[in-house]
Amino acid sequence: MFITLKRIFKLGWQNFSRDGGIAAATCFIMVMAILLASFLFLSKDVSQFLISSIQEKADISIYFKNSTLEEEILNLEKELTKIPEVKSIKYVSKEEALEEFIKRHKDSPGLMESLEEVGGNPFLAVLNIKAFEASQYQAVVNFLQGPGFENLIEKVDYYQRKPIIERIFALTVGMKKAGWIISVVLAIIAILVTFNTIRLAILNQKEEIKIQRLVGASNWFIRGPFLVQGMISGFFAVLISFLIFSFICWFLSPKIEFLFSDLNIWKFFTGNFFTIILIQLSTGILLGIISSTIAIRRYLKV
C-alpha cells in the first residue's frame, strides 16, 4: 500500500513537472479562482461597511421649540428608546449645534458675519433618530403626533426626507442582491474554467491512460496521479495567490482609508489572517482535486 501511494505521488509530480506550459496555465487559472474567493470574502465585510455607512446617512430630526426644557427633551428621548423600530438616538443641544456650526464654517466669513448679525443662538435643540428600515420611520412619526408633544416640538423633517431615506435603503438592498449575484456567477465561471484547464492536461495524457487500462491498472491507480497533480497545482496556486493578495491589501489600504477613514483593509487582512489562508487552501486544493476527478471520469469508464 505504501509503495503504491509512493508511486502515485511520484507520477503525480512527474505529470505536473513534465509539461510546464499546461502546469503554468492550470496554476494561473487556479490563482485567479483563489484570488476571486479571497476577494469575495473581503468584499463581504467591505460591502457591509459601505452599506452601514450609507444607512448612517438616513435619519430624521426632531426640532424643539426654544421654550422646551432640556429635561423634557431627555424624557422624550427615553420614551423613544422604548419603540422597537428605533435603532439609535442622538441628542444635540442648542449650544452643541452652535459650536458645530462655528467649527464647520469658521473659514466662511460670509456665514460667520450672518451669524453675528442674527445675534444670540439661532439653533434649536434636536434629536436625530435612526430606524432599522425605511418603513419604520412612520411609526416614530405616529408616536410623535400623539397628544402632549405639540407644545414641545417645533417640527419633524420626516416628510421632507422621506424620498431620500427610501432611496438610500433601496440602494443598500440592491447592493446586497448584486453582491450575491456577482459572487455566484464569478464562482461558477472560476469552476468551469479550472475544470476545462485541468481537462486539457488530462487529454494530453489520454494515450497513457489507455495503456494503463490495457495492462490492468485499477481506476484508483490511474486517478491517483491526476488527483496529486491537482493538489500540487492548487498548493502552488495558493502560495502565489497569498503573496498577490497580501500585496494588494497592503498597497490599497492607505488609498482606500483616505476615501473611507474607518475602512482599513490591511487591518482586516491581518485580523483574518488564518481564515484567509484556510479559504485559499480549501479553494486551491479542493478545486484541483474535484476538477481532476470530474475531468478524468470519462476515461475510467470501461
Class of residue 107 by CB neighbours under 10 A (exposed 0-12, middle 13-18, buried 19+): exposed
Final residue in a domain of this structure, among 119, 151, 183: 151
Domain co-membership, 173 together with 296: yes
Specify the pLDDT at position 302.
Answer: 45
Domain count along the chain: 2
* Boundary (domain end) residue, out of 121, 151, 181: 151
Query: Are 143 and 287 in the same domain?
Result: no
SS3 at position 89: strand
Residues 257, 283, single domain; the answer is yes
Q: Are 49 and 185 in the same domain?
A: yes
Q: Classify residue 121: in a domain, yes or no.
A: yes
* Segment 157-168, tens digit of pLDDT: 877 777 777 776
In this structure, the answer to whether residues 234 and 115 fall within a common structural domain is no
- Specify the 3-state DSSP secondary structure of 147: coil
In a domain, 95, yes or no: yes
In a domain, 61, yes or no: no
Q: Residue 128 pairs with which residues in a beta bridge?
A: 61, 90
Same domain, yes or no: 95 and 226? no
Residue 216 lies inside a defined structural domain of this protein:
yes
Domain-embedded: residue 122: yes
- Residue 16 and residue 108 in one domain: no
Domain that holds residue 115: 66-151
Q: In terms of pTM, does the model score above 0.75? A: no
Last residue of a domain, one of 151, 184, 210: 151
Q: What share of the chain is helix, strand, coil (3-state, %, to 5)?
A: 75, 5, 15
49 in a structural domain: yes
**Measured between alpha carbons, how far is residue 197 from residues 17, 23, 120, 228 in Å?**
16, 9, 75, 16
Whether residue 72 sits in one domain with residue 24: no
| Distance separating alpha carbons of residues 279 and 260, to the nearest angstrom | 26
Rounded Cα distance between 63 and 157, Å, is: 8
- CATH number at 92 reads 3.30.70
Residue with cell 479553494: 283
Statement to judge: residues 177 and 294 lie in one domain: yes
Same domain, 16 and 99: no
Q: Are strands 86-92 and 126-131 parallel, antiparallel or unpaired?
A: antiparallel
* Of 40, 94, 101, 91, residue with least CA distance to 67: 94
Look at residue 66 and give its three-state secondary structure: coil
Report the C-alpha gap between 62 and 66 in whole angstroms.
Answer: 13
Within a domain: 111: yes
**Helices (H) then strands (E): counts for the chain:** 11, 4
Rounded to 5 degrees, φ, ψ at 155 are -165, 160
Residues 175 and 147 in one domain: no
Both 216 and 294 in one domain: the answer is yes
Q: Please check whether residue 46 lies inside any domain of the structure.
A: yes
Closest CA to 198 of 233, 236, 239: 233
Low-confidence ranges of the chain (pLDDT < 70): 1-4, 8-9, 11-20, 22, 50-57, 168, 172, 175-176, 179, 183, 186-187, 190-191, 193-195, 197-210, 212-223, 259-261, 288, 291-292, 294-302
Q: How far is CA 47 from the centre of its chain?
A: 4
Q: Residue 6 corresponds to which amino acid?
A: K
